[in-house]
Structure 1
């Protein structure tokens, strides 16, 4: 799987979340993290991105990991910094 294919998975997920939330959501491409296992994508409300106004921030928009080997999308969490979830995912990959 390449980055464009991973982004398509993320776009589909964000589209489903947009339908549920009733607000326009955008992927924050410039924040994408690439690792050996794949990518970590971020998204937020379009209004928050455009204005920076916390009134338009959304909760629960956890970073999304896409595994380049399996093509699976994994929703992380929002209670800890993203590095925590990356480390957890990498540890799971090392566990037989």
Structure 2
């Protein structure tokens, strides 16, 4: 099971991969705790000259599941709340499938 600090390190590694392909200094800007993990919002650091934050395309938040250590990059075209609800439904379906498989395995 991941801690928030472990999750932060995983997300920073993902951001470092992206940073290597670009020209901006990237950082985690906000973390939101969820029942199953965290969602990390990230982006470019403000430019020292203009004070503006560069606009990036495709810098959707990263969802981290503490139980299975999944990192899921979320697209920016769908509201985050909807994507979280969809992921929670996915977790419930997976738990149901595991319970069903365990019950069937116990049958003679």
TM-score of the alignment, normalized to the shorter chain, above 0.5: yes
Name the counterpart of 2:68: 70
Partners of 1:17 and 1:88 lie apart in 2 by 26
Name which structure has the greater RCO, CA cutoff 8 Å, separation 6+. Answer: 1
1:42 maps to 41
Larger Rg: 2
Counting matched residue pairs gives 91
Q: For structure 1, list consecutive stretches of 5 or more residues without a partner in the other structure.
A: none
C-alpha distance in 2 between matches for 1:62 and 1:3: 19
Which 4+ stretches in 1 moved above 3 angstroms?
none
TM-score (normalised: structure 1): 0.86
Give the distance between the partners of 1:34 and 1:83, measured in 2 at CA. Answer: 13
Q: Could you list the per-position Cα deviations for residues 30-78 of structure 1 after superposition, in whole angstroms to 9, with x for gaps in the alignment?
A: x311111100001011126x93x36x11111011011100112111110
Name the one with the larger helix percent.
1
- In 2, the alpha carbon distance for the partners of 1:20 and 1:84 equals 30
Q: Where do 5+ consecutive residues of structure 2 fail to align? A: 98-108
